[in-house]
Amino acid sequence: MEKKKLLASTGSFSRAVLGGVLLAITSVTLTACSSSDPALYTLQPVTSAVPTVSSFSGLTAPTLVEIRRPTIPETLDRDRVVLSDSGYKLDVAKSDAWSAPLSDQIPHVLANDLRHRLPGTSFFVQDDATSTEPQAFVELVVTRFSRDASGNAVMNAQVSVHRADSDAPKTNRSIHLSMPAEAGTEGLVRALSTLMGQAADQIAGDIRTLPPAPKQ
């Protein structure tokens, strides 16, 4: 009799353990099925709002310009899109992510924007393969790249443009741009892309005003 009770107790315990394992597996499976891959967003080049300059002082214009990798704070340069930055709070998207780091996207989009604005000059990003030495550099420090409390997309940055020779004077510029952004992540990314184009308009102007290259 005691043996039958022991067998029954053992069987009940085994079924309980098996049921718990199956429940845990089911829970993990349902969680995996309910989660989805994040939506990926990419900055895009935009056309200039000002007339494109097809040529300018051929004696002073650099023919090859390097866009340096920008300095971006870690609060912005992250996988998830920073939706807004208002005061002490940083609102980061739960399911929307950048397709590539901003430190990689921003210089490549800026290079494309500048190519459209200065067709006579070639642009490439630092560390991209090239066998030719650049004649000028564009350096960028991005401090804000998100939506503010009023719903506007905001881009704040410091930009330096200078020729390659070490003694060349630098053109330093503070960029503060904003515009209304449509609701949602896509609306924000579209507005930020437009602000990148507006920044390229200003940077193109700085490149045009570079002093002549030193005589060899």
Note the pTM of the prediction, 2 decimals.
0.79
| Predicted pLDDT of residue 6 | 42
Two tokens at 130? Answer: 């090239």
d(CA 210, CA 104): 26
Two tokens at 108? Answer: 């490549």
| Predicted pLDDT of residue 157 | 98
Q: DSSP per residue over the chain, as a string?
A: -HHHHHHHHHHHHHHHHHHHHHHHHHHHHHHHHH--PPEEE-------SS-------TTT--SEEEEPPPB--TTTSSSEEEEEEETTEEEEEEEEEESS-HHHHHHHHHHHHHHHH-TTSEEEETTS--SS--SEEEEEEEEEEEE-TTSEEEEEEEEEEEESSTTPPPEEEEEEEEEE--SHHHHHHHHHHHHHHHHHHHHHHHHHTPPPPPP-
Count of other CB atoms within 10 angstroms of residue 118: 25
User: What average pLDDT values come out for the chain (216 residues) when binned by 10 residues?
Assistant: 48 48 43 64 89 55 92 93 86 94 97 95 89 91 94 97 84 96 96 98 93 68
Are 83 and 92 spatial neighbours (Cβ–Cβ below 8 Å)? yes
Which residue, chain included where needed, has tokens 């494309």? 112
Taking each helix axis from N to C end, the angle separating 184-208 and 102-117, rounded to the nearest 10 degrees, works out to: 50
